[in-house]
């Protein structure tokens, strides 16, 4: 069953930190907004959703991100760069390394 939060263990045993999956979604949205070649897709035909999705299973984070990419940009490079930036941002801000970040190109920006 999918969880709504991830539990982070700390070394001091003074308590636990639980992060809601909306935290990871917000971090990814901030990274997408910083890149001029990428825009979050408004709607997708794949899942009938208009936002990126974060799922947590067994304390592991997976993300699916539908995007539109500038038609002049190299799609492969932009997607790889976006994945890397999202991974680094989540790792740096929360201390958690996502298990999967899938960028789905669903259209182009003209």
Q: Which CATH number characterizes residue 27's domain?
A: 3.30.70.1350
- The answer to whether residue 48 sits within a structural domain is yes
Eight-class DSSP state of 41? -
If one counts the domains in the chain, the total is 1
The parent domain of residue 56 ranges over: 17-109
What percent of the chain has pLDDT above 90? 65
- Contacts (Cβ under 8 Å, ≥6 apart) of 105: 67, 68, 69, 75, 79
Q: What is the pLDDT of residue 48?
A: 52
- The answer to whether residue 4 sits within a structural domain is no
Tokens standing for 97?
């390394």
- Contacts (Cβ under 8 Å, ≥6 apart) of 53: 47, 63, 64
Whether this prediction's pTM lies above 0.75 is answered by yes
- The answer to whether residue 9 sits within a structural domain is no
Q: What is the pLDDT of residue 13?
A: 76
pLDDT digits (tens, 9 = 90+) for 21-41: 999 999 999 999 999 999 998
Confidence of residue 49 (pLDDT cuts 50, 70, 90): low
Q: Of 12-16, 24-28, 64-68, where does mean pLDDT reach its minimum?
A: 12-16
Other Cβ atoms less than 10 A from the Cβ of 107: the count is: 16
Other Cβ atoms less than 10 A from the Cβ of 27: the count is: 20
């Amino acid at each position: 069953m999918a969880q709504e939060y991830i539990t982070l263990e700390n070394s001091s045993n003074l308590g636990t930190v639980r992060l809601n999956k909306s935290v990871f979604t917000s971090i990814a949205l901030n990274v997408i907004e910083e890149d001029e070649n990428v825009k979050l897709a408004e709607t997708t035909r794949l899942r009938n959703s208009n936002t990126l999705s974060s799922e947590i299973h067994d304390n592991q984070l997976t993300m699916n991100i539908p995007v539109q990419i500038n038609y002049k940009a190299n799609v492969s490079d932009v997607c790889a760069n976006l994945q890397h930036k999202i991974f680094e941002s989540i790792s740096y801000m929360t201390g958690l390394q996502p298990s999967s970040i899938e960028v789905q190109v669903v259209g182009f920006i003209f």
